[in-house]
Amino acid sequence: MKKFYSTFFILILITSSLIKSQNVNRQAGLRTGYRGGFFYQLTSEAGNAEIGYNALLSFSNNGIQLTGLRVVYETSLSAISPDLFFAWGYGGHVGFTYTDHLGFLGERYSFRGERFCPLVGADGWLSAEYRFRDIPLNLSLNVKPFVELTFPAFVKIMPADVGLSVSYVF
């Protein structure tokens, strides 16, 4: 587990040095929801929008998932408030679970004892984010639908993983 954390930390350092913009915002925080966890995000301006790269580390079902997202922030909600942003994005995740059962289309399939089950999936992202002006804090209501394939050959579809994210901007 310590090796995984050190690899994740090194990946964040390498990724942050690859973005060569002067206006790079970094944020780290927590996301609640079905696949909640810790996240780190780099955001920079790109034309009329902002592009963010998000890494989310989730823990569920005695396993770990690492999600990478590309998020596009638009100012389409600026008519309501200049600090309210709409975002959409996409990405994927990899990880594993360690369980004695898996579910598929409402059915439960049990194993004889616990089993290591690797997984891979595709993710979407929709959010409304409020950025506080006086304090370095962002608050986001988001939906992260996903489809994943858990080996041995089980498909999970989650159309509405609704979560609330709180992040510190630095």
Domain limits of the chain?
A: 2-169
State pTM to two decimals: 0.82
Residue 144 phi, psi (nearest 5)? -125, 80
Q: Quote the mean pLDDT of the chain.
A: 87
Q: How confident is the model at residue 1 (pLDDT cuts 50, 70, 90)?
A: low
Helix (H, G, I), strand (E, B) or coil at 36: coil
In order of 56, 57, 92, 95, 115, the CA distances from 4 in angstroms are: 14, 11, 18, 11, 20
Architecture of domain 2-169 in CATH? Beta Barrel (2.40)
How confident is the model at residue 15, as a pLDDT? 56
Report whether pLDDT(115) > 90. no
Mean pLDDT of 127-145: 96
Would you give the DSSP letter of residue 7? Answer: H
Percent of the chain surpassing pLDDT 90: 59
Residue 16, pLDDT above cutoff 60: no
What is the structure's pLDDT at 100?
84
Q: How confident is the model at residue 46, as a pLDDT?
A: 87
